[in-house]
Structure 1
Amino acid sequence: MQRAVLVLGLVITSASAYSTKVQQSIISSFHASQFSLTRNCQLQFNEFFSNFTMDQYSWALQMADATSKIPSGLLSLNFAEMGDFQQCVSIEASTKTGTILGKYCLGSLIVKETTSSDHQNMRGMFSFEKFGVISLVLSVKLLWALCLPDGCTTDDANLVGNFLLTNVVGEEVGVRFSDLLCQTVKEVNPPLTNGAIVTIAILALLLSTVLLSTLYDIFCIFYGHKSCPMLVKGFSAYTNSKKLFKMTTPTPDQLPCLNGVKCLSMVWVIYGHTFSISRVSPVTNAKYLMEWTDNWYSMIIHSASFSVDTFLTIGSALMSYGFMKAKCKNVRFNLFLYYLHRYLRLTAPFAIVVLVSATLLKYMGSGPQWPLVDQTLQQLCVNNWWVALLYIQNYVNDTDMCVGHSWYLSIDFQLYLISPFLLCALWKYPKACLSFLVLCVLWFVGVSFYVAWVYELHAILSSFYGNPKNYEKYYYYLTHTRCVPWFIGLILGYYIFKLKQDKLRLKLNKTLVWIIWAVCFGTMLTCVLGGHSTLRGEEYDRWGNAFYIALVRPVWSLAVSWVILACTNDYGGPVNWVLSLPIYQVLNRFTYSIYLTHVTLLYIISYDRKRPGYFSNFNLAYDFWGILWFSAGLSYLLILMTESPIIVIEEILIRSFDKKKHRKRDV
């Protein structure tokens, strides 16, 4: 058995330039070592050694070959050696002791604390201290893989792995394996659960309904039937696709520039998520990734979170503007239907994403890190699906969210719940309510400052010395710290309504307009790049970080408000032309479903990788465009199965509700 470990060690180090010297070190250490492996592991290792040959079909050679080697590019911080996952789990050998399967274990390298001069020199050369801090921010990991017979336990893997690394690298480096990331072919191909079967049946039923409805709808159209049942049209891909891809000329009371703002904001969100989530997979040039993240231009990606504030501003502005228009036309307000409309529209597609996340994710791929999909994505939805569908998980379980990026939906829906009271007050008592909304803005700016001050939050997410978990837990996910742009949007929507209702136009001097636009763009650029050189140091600036966190999002929201106000009052110029292009009408109909699907898709792709990637600007852009269009295709199916039908179902329910009310009045 010990001789088998020796063979593994020799194969592992065969690629090293110093292989002869390292092999001699392993041999001398091997004779002085004693292992206490489990009985099954010892028996299988005996079989391993007796069957080890240099024949390419030797399962023992394949097992040794699938184990990690010393990689090249160590000076580039290439410590993400993952071996050959597919080769390891594909091993199946019949021996005297029974069938032996390949067991792949992915472990984390540990740099041990020591005072030896050689180790200190090594730590300085590879910048391990800084690398350890950055690994928290960038998800950069020190990885090492071992392929063993399946009779070996995780403890056996730790013994063998640490022995090999001790003789290859030295006592300064060790490895830690866990049961979670040790897999055989049985774990790679698990049987379908009852929940997975039910989910597949539901998806098949929805797709079948769409297909049959489409065929019947086409039959009605092309064979002389003037009318087709309303519910059938609601599921018809033909009718709904015509609506989805239709472009119309905006009417005077519409705000077409908002379509462009929303689409561009969603693109920014996807680009930011592509960077942050794709870094879950290890890279071979972690040093360059560190340097890239430390540069000012990385702030363009890290500042994608401002898109959330843009959506909050736009959402509340549309809500305020639409409510005022409805009241002006004497449309009766029904609180129950107001809430029902919002809940159905949000929840229909979201429920499908939650259902798939809770039942099917672990069957969608495989890889060294794939078990993390079940642990960090699927199990969270199994346990917390109901919290997600109630839109309260940003407060109830902020660290264990089902479909983690849905925290925005919780904030949006919670603010929607209080909106009727503010909108009614804004209609009846505009001056008093506007004053109250301004006070709300100032109050919650103060709340954000207080939270940042008390918990010593780091404002710049790419800072190597901050703790992003605290930033998310105490500030980023919470409604009371993120609501300021929403209040600003309510005020904006009201003033846009007043200007359009009274057929007024802002009368601004042309020079003043240019000055405001310059200030607006300068403000946005400052929000994106500001703080890079002043708030990223090792020494924490409490005042600077607290003021930045409290003010940057309200200021960004005010700049976005000017863009919208200018574009709706003929002061937008080329900006308004770009934002109001008809193509945005089409793209805007896909934004919600793309938002729901793209993050899960990113995690699936990242955890499914069998080899470390290479980070570059071109690869990042390539991944982004792939994710954008892949998620657009998925969102198209999601819209046909949920969003389009729910619009028709909602209309049927409202008609039924109105008929009952009319009958009661007649009686």
Structure 2
Amino acid sequence: MIVVLGWIALCAISFSQASKTVEILTPGLNTIKEEEILRVLAQNKTESSENFTFVELVSNLQNHTELTKNAADQEWRIDPPEISWTNPYYENFRTEIDRETRRLLQVVPTYEPGAGSVSSECKRQSDVFQRELSKFTLWALKMYDATAKIPSGLLNGNVNQLGDFDECVGIKGSDGIRGKYCLAYLQLDIDRSRPDLVHLHRLLHSHYAFRSNMSDPGHRVPRFSTVNWAICTPAACSHRDVEISLRQTLAKHTAQTGLKITVQVDQEMCQVRRIEPLPTSTIIVGLLFAGVITMSIVAAVCDHYALNSNEILLSFSLKRNFNKLISFERAEGDIATLHGVRALNAMMLIVAHKCMALFFNPYMNRTDMAEYLGKPWTVIGRAASLYTDPFIMLSGLLTTYSFVGRLNKYNKLNVRNEYLSRLLRLVPTLAALILFCTYIMPFIGSGPQWNLVVTHHADICKKTWWRNFLFIHNYFGFENMCLTHTHHLGIDTQLFALSPLMIILLWKKPKIGAAILGAVAIASTVLRYYVTYFKRLNNYVFFGTSIRQLFDTANLSYILPTHRLTVYIMGILVGYLLRNCPKGYKLNGTVINIGWIVSSLMFIGAFIGPAKMGSIDYIYNPTHAATYNAFAPIGWCALFAWMAFLAHTGNTNDWLTRLFAWRGFLVSTRLSYAVYLTQFPVFFYNVGQTRSAEHYEFFRMLFNVSEFLWIIITSVILTLLFDTPFQNIKNYFLKKSKNTAVKSD
């Protein structure tokens, strides 16, 4: 828009000085009603008028413009819808237009798509573009206008320029030329012997909140040190052509400076407007979802009117499932405080994940953002790994509580049924999400980074989906994982598979079992410390951490069950105590107080202890990182475990336990699995749709109410259509098998 306004101003000045008097902006134009302007602009969107020049557009908006001596009395009208791929006024105003083109391109140089050794077709279309740009033909001006320009605020981090995505992909030019939008990656390197440039480089890159290279995977964690620069080019130019020509163009402007720019353009980051029909796979999956929705509605009608229906069909009843979702009725043996623990950590995890998603977007004040986030209290968003540990502990606790109850009652455990029950609980909802994110989501939006954060994930899932259903996807690397945020399911399921062995050992030989499990927990803690220290990993996102270090931390520690055993075994031991300690079991008051003090100090240490690691001036220390990774999970979970034990055995009923035992958290528990699955698709949808830089404001960006509402809405839909129905089916078959077993006995 600035370029356009500047061009109009230059044009008006030069025309006022030209020998031939042409009134570009006459008083008559000011009297034109807004409705008339909108009507003309609306017509200008059609194929026949997409190639109007600015001069032509202005002439169509006035009744009294004198273009020639014979046109003085011409009535105001819209030209007939004839396709014109060049500026029809160029021959009449060749001198003026050539002069203004020269002036404009001197002020804001153009990107040359045909520079360097590009393909012959790219070169041909580039020549057409350059020729038509010199004539101020509208489609060529749009291509020039949609390409990113050097902005203001570079020293405040406004380096990522997304251009105009929609303007670019909507271009139709002469000789079949179409617009192609490419988001190029630029790596800016400087002469490190120049301290003045070093300081400027630090400001440009927002104090290196993350350090990255162009070779780092960018679909899960943003390449923060890489500059994103939009290029609008003729569609015949491949991503290699764009890379070659951009490198050539930049070389002209950076020669003999202290700046060196490396250019990379990935094929997936070049986009044209989609005109092909939807793939068959997308249509099939869409029909599948439509079928599930239809069946749920039919089941709800049958349920509401008490029609004679199959129990499997009624399992999908929206009415029945919604009533279950909002029910405040507790199950028998429910451990009340655990619902609040789950809700708190789920909320903290959403905030931490949102913080990471925000780094994908461009900001006009990104350096201010980095300085703001370099404060100790931002530990709340940096300790994302910490908030997943309670879920692992709760899994071990609830599994043990359930298994020991069955062992005490029946003296045996049907392991096969437990495994099948687990699969029916997890797989249908996970399958629905994978199908949606792989075959539906890529076609419901667009944007500069859409292919990076949406389509790329879908492509990975098309190749590796089977790993997720075998729950082994966490062993193949964070960057190669279908829906990387589901790594927790792999860890939890693998630990669950081992749980019968550990729980039966503890049940049969309590002392020996506890000693063995304690030794395994210690070994897991030592393993976390060892690998973090010697591999220089870090589970805490500190200032200046490299993307490679984050991926290595995930692959070598965070996503491996051997490194998460400590808190799982904590859960097993607490679950065993809860099942075997009677409700009236009373502890000594001194023991209770000591327990509160110790667990609270451990909790605070886990949360606040690493705060200095979030400082903008922090220098990596492997001892800090190893200590945090080894002991923070234990400290964070200790308070929750102590509170659950005291509340369930009746040793406390203070305000904290009553808060965590609030019945409203029953609803959040039923939604927790779906919330866990849907949050990143919602975050990445919004990242992919982002088309321009915003002004960063911490609370407005982080606590995006509409985004949280969408997470809740999608979670409710996923729960009602897939999660609860298949739990109903599971319960139906388990009940049926029990009845059959009783009859046979």
Match 1:52 to one of 133, 142, 145: 133
Distance in 2 between the 1:653 and 1:378 partners?
34
Q: 1:134 is matched with which residue?
A: 210
Q: 1:494 to 1:27 in 2, by over 3 A?
A: closer
Give 1:580 shift.
1.1
Q: 1:567 to 1:428 in 2, by over 3 A?
A: same
Give 1:228 shift.
4.8
Match 2:600 to one of 521, 535, 555: 521
Distance in 1 between the 2:410 and 2:491 partners?
30
Distance in 2 between the 1:85 and 1:193 partners?
24
Q: 2:266 is matched with which residue?
A: 178
Give 1:234 shift.
0.8
Q: Is the 8 A contact 2:158 2:364 kept in 1?
A: yes
Q: 2:698 is matched with which residue?
A: 617
Per-residue CA distance 1:434-490 (angstroms, 9 max, x = gap):
222211211211121221233122342224145111111111111000111010011
Give 1:339 shift.
0.7
Q: Is the 8 A contact 1:567 1:575 kept in 2?
A: no
Q: Is the 8 A contact 2:429 2:723 kept in 1?
A: yes
Per-residue CA distance 1:295-326 (angstroms, 9 max, x = gap):
21111111232221111112211222222333
Distance in 1 between the 2:476 and 2:277 partners?
32
Match 1:385 to one of 461, 465, 482: 465
Question: In the alignment, is residue 651 of structure 1 matched against residue 726 of structure 2?
Answer: no
Question: In the alignment, is residue 154 of structure 1 matched against residue 242 of structure 2?
Answer: no
Give 1:528 shift.
1.5
Q: 2:199 is matched with which residue?
A: 124
Q: 1:110 is matched with which residue?
A: 187
Question: In the alignment, is residue 596 of structure 1 matched against residue 677 of structure 2?
Answer: yes
Give 1:593 shift.
0.8
Match 2:166 to one of 67, 86, 90: 86
Give 1:516 shift.
4.1
Q: 1:348 to 1:397 in 2, by over 3 A?
A: same
Per-residue CA distance 1:44-68 (angstroms, 9 max, x = gap):
233334433787x811111111111
Tell me the SS of whatever aligns to 1:267: helix
Q: 1:514 to 1:72 in 2, by over 3 A?
A: farther
Q: Is the 8 A contact 1:598 1:631 kept in 2?
A: yes
Q: Is the 8 A contact 2:605 2:632 kept in 1?
A: no
Give 1:426 shift.
2.2
Distance in 2 between the 1:28 and 1:312 partners?
55
Give 1:273 shift.
0.7
The worse-fitting range, judged by mean Cα deviation, of 242-251 and 573-582 is: 242-251
Identity %: 23
Give 1:283 shift.
2.3
Q: 2:687 is matched with which residue?
A: 606
Q: Is the 8 A contact 1:384 1:401 kept in 2?
A: yes
Question: In the alignment, is residue 495 of structure 1 matched against residue 581 of structure 2?
Answer: no
Q: Is the 8 A contact 1:391 1:409 kept in 2?
A: yes
Give 1:498 shift.
2.3
Give 1:166 shift.
4.6
What is the RMSD computed on CA atoms of the aligned residues? 3.1
Q: 1:3 is matched with which residue?
A: none
Give 1:125 shift.
1.9
Distance in 1 between the 2:481 and 2:694 partners?
28
Distance in 2 between the 1:319 and 1:430 partners?
17
| One-letter identity of the residue aligned with 2:272 | T
Tell me the SS of whatever aligns to 1:146: strand
Distance in 2 between the 1:54 and 1:614 partners?
36
Match 1:432 to one of 508, 512, 526: 512
TM-score after normalising by structure 1: 0.87
Distance in 2 between the 1:621 and 1:535 partners?
18
Q: 1:520 to 1:45 in 2, by over 3 A?
A: same
Q: 1:468 is matched with which residue?
A: 550
Per-residue CA distance 1:66-100 (angstroms, 9 max, x = gap):
1111111111011011110100101112x2xx211
Distance in 2 between the 1:218 and 1:28 partners?
66
Q: 1:198 is matched with which residue?
A: 284
Distance in 2 between the 1:499 and 1:272 partners?
36
| One-letter identity of the residue aligned with 2:239 | T
Distance in 2 between the 1:54 and 1:514 partners?
83
Per-residue CA distance 1:538-558 (angstroms, 9 max, x = gap):
654333322222112122222
The worse-fitting range, judged by mean Cα deviation, of 461-470 and 595-604 is: 461-470
Question: In the alignment, is residue 506 of structure 1 matched against residue 583 of structure 2?
Answer: no
Q: 1:535 to 1:218 in 2, by over 3 A?
A: closer
Distance in 2 between the 1:298 and 1:27 partners?
42
Q: 1:211 is matched with which residue?
A: 297
Q: 1:425 to 1:210 in 2, by over 3 A?
A: same
* Contiguous gaps of at least 5 residues in structure 2: 11-100, 213-220
Q: Is the 8 A contact 1:22 1:167 kept in 2?
A: no
Tell me the SS of whatever aligns to 1:382: helix
The worse-fitting range, judged by mean Cα deviation, of 130-139 and 650-659 is: 130-139
Q: Is the 8 A contact 2:401 2:579 kept in 1?
A: yes
Q: Is the 8 A contact 2:567 2:637 kept in 1?
A: yes
Q: 1:209 to 1:34 in 2, by over 3 A?
A: closer
Q: 1:28 to 1:233 in 2, by over 3 A?
A: closer
* Residue pairs, 1:339-350, within 5 angstroms: 339-350=419-430
Q: 2:316 is matched with which residue?
A: 235
Per-residue CA distance 1:261-298 (angstroms, 9 max, x = gap):
11111111111111112322222222123223322111
Give 1:576 shift.
1.0
Distance in 1 between the 2:192 and 2:381 partners?
39
Per-residue CA distance 1:402-437 (angstroms, 9 max, x = gap):
111111111111111111122222222222212222
Q: 1:4 is matched with which residue?
A: none
The worse-fitting range, judged by mean Cα deviation, of 35-44 and 192-201 is: 35-44
Question: In the alignment, is residue 585 of structure 1 matched against residue 673 of structure 2?
Answer: no
| One-letter identity of the residue aligned with 1:143 | N
Q: 1:41 is matched with which residue?
A: 122
| One-letter identity of the residue aligned with 1:309 | D
Q: 1:169 to 1:525 in 2, by over 3 A?
A: farther
Q: 1:405 to 1:104 in 2, by over 3 A?
A: same
Give 1:109 shift.
2.0
Q: 1:359 to 1:565 in 2, by over 3 A?
A: same
Distance in 2 between the 1:662 and 1:283 partners?
66
The worse-fitting range, judged by mean Cα deviation, of 227-236 and 200-209 is: 227-236
Q: Is the 8 A contact 2:461 2:482 kept in 1?
A: yes
Distance in 1 between the 2:603 and 2:276 partners?
49
Q: Is the 8 A contact 1:230 1:648 kept in 2?
A: no
Tell me the SS of whatever aligns to 1:192: coil
Q: 1:138 to 1:385 in 2, by over 3 A?
A: closer
Give 1:255 shift.
1.3
Distance in 1 between the 2:334 and 2:736 partners?
29
The worse-fitting range, judged by mean Cα deviation, of 337-346 and 33-42 is: 33-42
Distance in 1 between the 2:657 and 2:249 partners?
64
Distance in 2 between the 1:534 and 1:100 partners?
52
Q: Is the 8 A contact 2:157 2:363 kept in 1?
A: no
Distance in 1 between the 2:109 and 2:537 partners?
52
| One-letter identity of the residue aligned with 1:148 | T
Distance in 1 between the 2:523 and 2:384 partners?
25
Question: In the alignment, is residue 480 of structure 1 matched against residue 557 of structure 2?
Answer: no
TM-score after normalising by structure 2: 0.78
Distance in 1 between the 2:619 and 2:542 partners?
15
Give 1:659 shift.
5.6
Tell me the SS of whatever aligns to 1:103: strand
| One-letter identity of the residue aligned with 1:551 | F
Distance in 1 between the 2:497 and 2:431 partners?
20
Tell me the SS of whatever aligns to 2:133: coil
Q: 1:329 to 1:123 in 2, by over 3 A?
A: same
The worse-fitting range, judged by mean Cα deviation, of 404-413 and 35-44 is: 35-44
The worse-fitting range, judged by mean Cα deviation, of 356-365 and 232-241 is: 356-365
Distance in 2 between the 1:89 and 1:135 partners?
32
Q: 1:648 to 1:540 in 2, by over 3 A?
A: closer
